[in-house]
């Protein structure tokens, strides 16, 4: 089973850049999307029909603000339950969490806030703390959980092209990195990519549009597939699809046994 996660930086823009051809070729069983910037009914009817014809059910959870944030999950597997948001207003107003429960595991698409200024950093850190408690509560009934998404945080120095010059940059701040480590510890979650590739360098999932960063692979690994320890032994492969170029991010994913 192939599960992918992709911050498309606007699904309509990504479609105009060949996203649907890529989707047909990759054919994941489950695709988690972030930063869709659209409601389902804003996708052109022809494009939506094409997605359906590939065998996907589509589930969107959008921000209250038009053209902003938003998450979605496309699935070829019929879920037993679809949960839009967390039920916590402070986390849900920007459309950042959606979850599908299947027979023996659950998949969440997460778009964690960025912290581009002081106000947004405070919002991000509060979101992170609330998210930790939310996941801990979920684990009481969902022991096999996969959280795919754009976490907007590089966890370790190996996850960023220049850790020294970026040490005071949002996304690599000590307080953000500390939360990421604490989240993994408290939830006993596994970073699937580092689980299989603990020393792999230059493995990035986002690049600035500035200074030819992507061509020079001066990037950040801020997109992750985290999963419950109970699922770690089922991860056959974990990968980053850097050849996909419909966004400033690229897809990340896993193959489950």
pLDDT in tens, 49-69: 999 999 999 999 999 999 999
- The predicted pLDDT at position 118 comes to 81
pLDDT digits (tens, 9 = 90+) for 175-225: 999 999 999 999 999 999 999 999 999 999 999 999 999 999 999 999 999
Which regions in the chain score pLDDT beneath 70? none
Please tell me the distance from the alpha carbon of residue 46 to that of residue 52, in angstroms, as a whole number: 10
Tokens of 154: 């590089």
Closest CA to 131 of 109, 112, 118: 112
DSSP 53-107: HTT-EEEEE--SSTTS--EEEEESSPPSEEEES-S-HHHHTTT-EEEEE-SS-EE
Tell me how crowded residue 92 is: count the other CB atoms within 10 A of its CB: 16
Q: How much is the pLDDT for 90? A: 86
pLDDT at residue 117 in the model: 85
Tokens of residue 123, six digits: 């919002």
- The pLDDT value given to residue 235: 98
Give the pLDDT of residue 151. Answer: 98
pLDDT at site 116:
84
Residue among 254, 70, 34, 257 at smallest CA distance from 146: 254
Question: Rounded to two decimals, what is the model's pTM?
Answer: 0.98
- Residues identified as active-site: 111, 150
């Amino acid at each position: 089973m192939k599960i992918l996660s992709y911050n498309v930086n606007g699904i309509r823009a990504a479609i105009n850049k060949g996203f649907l051809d890529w989707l047909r070729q990759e054919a994941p069983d489950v695709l988690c999307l972030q930063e869709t910037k659209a409601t389902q009914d804003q996708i052109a009817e022809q494009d939506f029909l094409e997605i359906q014809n590939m065998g996907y059910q589509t589930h969107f959870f959008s921000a209250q603000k038009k053209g902003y944030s938003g998450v979605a999950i496309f699935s070829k597997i019929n879920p037993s339950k679809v949960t839009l948001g967390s039920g916590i207003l402070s986390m849900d107003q920007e459309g950042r969490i959606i979850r599908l429960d299947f027979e023996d595991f659950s998949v969440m698409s997460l778009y964690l806030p960025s912290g581009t200024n002081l106000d947004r950093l405070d919002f991000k850190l509060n979101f992170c703390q609330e998210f930790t408690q939310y996941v801990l509560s979920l684990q009481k009934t969902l022991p096999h959980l996969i959280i795919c998404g754009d976490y907007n945080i590089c966890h370790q120095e190996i996850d960023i092209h220049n850790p020294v010059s970026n040490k005071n940059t949002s996304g690599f701040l000590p307080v953000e990195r500390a939360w990421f480590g604490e989240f993994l510890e408290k939830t006993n979650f596994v970073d699937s990519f580092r689980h299989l590739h603990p020393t792999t360098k230059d493995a990035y999932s986002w690049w600035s549009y500035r200074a030819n960063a992507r061509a020079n692979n001066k990037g950040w690994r801020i997109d992750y597939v985290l999963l419950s320890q109970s699922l770690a032994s089922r991860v056959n492969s974990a990968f980053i699809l850097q050849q996909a170029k419909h966004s400033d991010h690229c897809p990340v994913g896993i193959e489950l046994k």
